[in-house]
Amino acid sequence: MLRFEALSWFAESAAMDENRADTPEQVIEFAPKGGPRSYTPLVDEAGEAIIAKLQKAADLSNENCDRAMKLAHKLSMELRAAEDRINQLEAEVELFRHRAVRAEYWLQTIQKEIEEKLIAPRSANATEQTSLPQDAKL
């Protein structure tokens, strides 16, 4: 059986050699010359392209991060300023409440003084005057 396979291979190669003679030389030149083609330059190019894209992505990511950090810092400063203003306004509110309580106290004190010094003596005089004519009749 080995002999048959060897003979059949020899017959096929002879047939191919005959076909080769009929084939134009231009077509034969395009056949790969010497062993398998090296893919190293293609792999290197692909690797460099991937690294370049990764670097670009990293740069964009860093820019976005920097922009976000600046915005966060700005907003933090604005928040701090707003909190300071709120604290200032709360202090003013407390001051005005205290002043309103003091003003109310003084209004009550003045009202009491007016009642005691002005209204009460007049009422006493008015009651005495109405009671005098009655005493005079007796």
> What's the rounded Cα separation, in Å, for the pair 59 and 49?
15
pLDDT of residue 48: 95
Q: Does residue 14 carry a pLDDT above 90?
A: no
pTM, entire model = 0.47
3-state DSSP assignment of residue 51: helix
Please tell me what DSSP assigns to residue 31: S
Question: Among 34-48, 75-89, 98-112, which stretch is predicted with the lowest mean pLDDT?
Answer: 34-48
Average model confidence (pLDDT) for the chain?
80
pLDDT of residue 10: 47
Q: How many CB atoms lie within 10 A of CB 22?
A: 6
Please identify which residue in the block is written with the tokens 């909190």: 83
> What's the rounded Cα separation, in Å, for the pair 99 and 102?
5
What is the phi/psi pair of residue 50, to 5°?
Answer: -65, -45
Q: What is the pLDDT of residues 44-86, one digit of tens each?
A: 999 999 999 999 999 999 999 999 999 999 999 999 999 999 9
C-alpha Rg value of the chain to the nearest Å: 56
Q: Does residue 116 carry a pLDDT above 50?
A: yes
> What's the rounded Cα separation, in Å, for the pair 119 and 111?
10
pLDDT of residue 120: 80
